[in-house]
Amino acid sequence: MAEHNELGKLGEEMAVEFLSKEGYIILETNWTFQKAEIDILARKGNTLAVVEVKTRSSLDFGLPQDFVKSKKIQLLVKAVDAFVNERNLDIEVRFDIIAINKEGKSFVIEHLIDAFYHF
């Protein structure tokens, strides 16, 4: 597996662990619908957090969260709509980003709640 794929997988594992410690119930990871993939679907109370995980080995090219583009957001909205409808959920939906970047031998995790809005 390419190094960036391994870093992405590690980032998603760290994000799941982080969310679990914060009291979220992980419903799905890498959930796909058509062309969209949602990294993490997690529930806390009556809120469904749709979490996009962005992991970078450095910040040389910008912040991890800057790499979530409008096309990706549109795909996430379509996918989460299918997820909620399939399960007939009556729940608030929120879009979060977990940005992870490597600093030396450790990682910094930032949870951006309500990181973007669907349009």
- Tell me: the pLDDT tens digits for 34-89? 989 999 999 999 999 999 998 877 666 666 566 677 888 888 899 999 999 999 99
Position with higher pLDDT, 114 vs 57 = 114
- What are the phi and psi torsion angles at 42 (to 5°)? -135, 145
User: Which domains are present in the chain?
Assistant: 3-112 (3.40.1350.10)
Confidence of residue 117 (pLDDT cuts 50, 70, 90): low
Average pLDDT rounded to a whole number, residues 83-99: 94
Question: Is the model's pLDDT at 3 over the cut of 90?
Answer: no
pLDDT at 69: 75
pLDDT tens sequence across 4-45: 678 888 899 999 999 999 999 999 999 999 989 999 999 999
